[in-house]
């Protein structure tokens, strides 16, 4: 018999141990850090006392963790259930709690239905079977790409008419936000958010370093942005490109490739062993081809399963 309680900040180490155990069972490594878990619990808009659950075995060991996250006032709700290897029977109980709460969140925003998204490693067949039983279907997949840096990487020449600006100023951040919102408007699972919410979520992340945001202006007008952070420094000793976006009217000029190579050179200069990023295989732009042609290789696949509830 499991005891269900709401998670608190003090539970971060136990959740980290649980998630690491599950990931190691599935892909052979933890693929997370304690800081990642702390960030998740402190995510603006996430309320652990209402939207999270921990399941404890009789001996007090944490064997299950689940959460629901509503994306603003949209009808998109991110959900997940993590259970310790060997105790899969617990997953069904947690999934029922998750689905009920997701429906409540949708109703509270006036939506007659909600779309649920849940990420799962391609290698986790057990979790895929559980998602299928609860009415989820594959929606898209994200490839984790990597390039290794063996010493310094030469920075690319800045194209004519292009100037670069880092994210320490609010003006640059606001323009970067606008570029991202427009460039990603047609992408899978995209939800438009106002600048204040976009900034607050990133400011709350321990991995955020605004110096790793680079906005490219063409003849003075915002055109493209690359946003790096420290998410994979502690465990992979790699930089991470969280966002690479080019406005539609500036595509086809090589700005995406330029900013990608700019990020590679910056990560190598910081002494990082490589650079990682995630790309949607169904991206509306040929992003996967760009990354592969720049020397990146796929190292992991994460599928996003979805259900209309």
Are 153 and 277 in a shared domain? Answer: yes
Task: Identify the DSSP state of 66.
Answer: E
**Does the pTM of the predicted model rise above 0.75?**
yes
Average per-residue pLDDT for the chain: 96
22 within a domain of the structure (yes/no): yes
Q: Read off the pLDDT of residues 293-302 as tens digits, 9 standing for 90 and up.
A: 999 999 999 9
Residue 153 shares a structural domain with residue 286: yes
| Mean pLDDT, residues 177-189 | 95
In a domain, 309, yes or no: no
- Judge whether residue 284 has pLDDT over 70: no
Averaged pLDDT, 85-99: 94
Note whether 153 and 296 are same-domain residues. Answer: yes
DSSP classification of residue 271? T
User: Are residues 47 and 94 located together in one domain of the fold?
Assistant: yes
Residues 28 and 93 in one domain: yes
Cβ atoms of 204 and 250 within 8 Å: the answer is: no
- Residue 307: inside a domain, yes or no? no
The CATH number given to whatever domain includes residue 7 is 3.40.630.30
Distances (CA, A) of 60 to 10, 15, 54, 55, 205: 15, 13, 11, 9, 30
The residues near 258 (Cβ < 8 Å, ≥ 6 apart) are: 156, 158, 159, 162, 216
* 209, 233 Cβ separation under 8 angstroms: no
Number of residues that this document lists for the chain: 309
Domain assignment present for residue 140? The answer is no
Q: For residue 71, give its domain range.
A: 3-135
Residues 122 and 169 in one domain: no
Residue 113 lies in a domain: yes
Are 291 and 283 in contact by the 8 Å Cβ rule? The answer is no
Predicted confidence at residue 288, as pLDDT, reads 87
C-alpha dist (Å) from residue 68 to 53, 94, 147, 199: 9, 11, 33, 21
Question: pLDDT-based confidence at 1, cuts 50/70/90?
Answer: confident
In 3D space, the residue among 108, 7, 131 whose CA is nearest the CA of residue 66 turns out to be 7
Same domain, 115 and 150: no
Is there a domain that residue 54 lies in?
Answer: yes
As a whole-number percent, the residues of the chain with pLDDT over 90 amount to 94
Tell me, yes or no, whether 98 lies in a domain. yes
Grouping H, G, I as helix, E, B as strand and the rest as coil, residue 179 is: helix
Average pLDDT over residues 12-38: 98
Of the residues 135, 161, 189, which one is the last residue of a structural domain?
Answer: 135
Last residue of a domain, one of 102, 135, 168: 135
Let me know whether 255 and 203 are in one domain: yes
User: Does 111 share its domain with 243?
Assistant: no
Question: What pLDDT is recorded for position 131?
Answer: 98
Q: Which of 101, 135, 169 is the last residue of a domain?
A: 135
220 — alpha (psi -120 to 50), left (phi > 0) or beta? left
Alpha-carbon gap, residue 116 to 110, rounded angstroms? 16
Residue 179 has phi, psi (to 5 degrees) of -60, -45
- Whether 65 and 54 have beta carbons less than 8 Å apart is answered as yes
What's the pLDDT at 298? 96
Express each pLDDT in 131-160 by its tens digit: 999 999 999 999 999 999 999 999 999 999
Give the pLDDT confidence score for residue 119 in this predicted structure: 98
- Based on the fold, state whether residues 67 and 125 are members of the same structural domain: yes
pLDDT of the residue at 283? 74
Kindly report, residue by residue over 35-77, the tens digit of the pLDDT: 999 999 999 999 999 999 999 999 999 999 999 999 999 999 9
Q: Are residues 55 and 77 in the same domain?
A: yes
Average pLDDT over residues 223-236: 98
Radius of gyration of the chain (CA): 20
Assigned domain for 112 exists:
yes
pLDDT at 231 over 90: yes
Number of domains in the chain: 2
User: Could you tell me which residue, 241 or 88, shows the higher pLDDT?
Assistant: 241
Confidence of residue 290 (pLDDT cuts 50, 70, 90): very high
- Together in a domain, 165 and 81: no
């Amino acid at each position: 018999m499991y005891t269900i309680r709401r998670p608190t900040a003090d539970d971060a180490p136990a959740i980290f141990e649980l998630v690491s155990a599950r990931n190691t069972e599935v892909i052979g490594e933890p693929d997370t850090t304690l800081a990642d878990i702390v960030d998740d619990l402190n995510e603006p808009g996430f309320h652990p006392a209402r939207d999270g659950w921990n399941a404890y075995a009789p001996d007090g060991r944490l064997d299950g963790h689940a959460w629901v996250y509503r994306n603003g006032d949209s009808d998109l709700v991110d959900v997940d259930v993590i259970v310790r290897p060997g105790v899969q029977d617990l997953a069904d109980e947690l999934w029922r709690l998750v689905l009920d709460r997701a429906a409540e969140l949708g109703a509270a925003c006036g939506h007659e239905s909600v779309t649920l998204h849940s990420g799962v490693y391609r290698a986790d067949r057990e979790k895929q079977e559980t998602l299928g039983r609860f009415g989820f279907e594959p929606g898209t997949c994200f490839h984790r790409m990597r390039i290794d840096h063996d010493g310094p990487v030469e920075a690319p020449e800045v194209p004519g008419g292009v100037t670069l600006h880092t994210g320490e100023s609010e003006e640059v951040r606001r323009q970067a936000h606008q570029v991202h919102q427009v460039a990603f408007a047609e992408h899978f699972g995209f939800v438009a958010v106002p600048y204040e919410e976009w900034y607050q979520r990133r400011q709350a992340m321990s991995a955020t370093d605004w110096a790793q945001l680079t906005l490219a202006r063409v003849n003075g007008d915002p055109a493209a942005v690359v946003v790096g952070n420290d998410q994979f420094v502690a465990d992979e000793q790699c930089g991470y490109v969280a966002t690479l976006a080019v406005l539609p009217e500036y595509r086809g000029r090589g700005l995406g490739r330029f900013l990608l190579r700019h990020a590679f050179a910056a990560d190598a200069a910081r002494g990082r062993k490589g650079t990682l990023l995630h790309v949607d295989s169904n991206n509306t732009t040929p992003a996967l081809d760009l990354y592969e042609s720049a020397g990146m290789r796929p190292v992991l696949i994460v599928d996003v399963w979805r259900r209309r509830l």
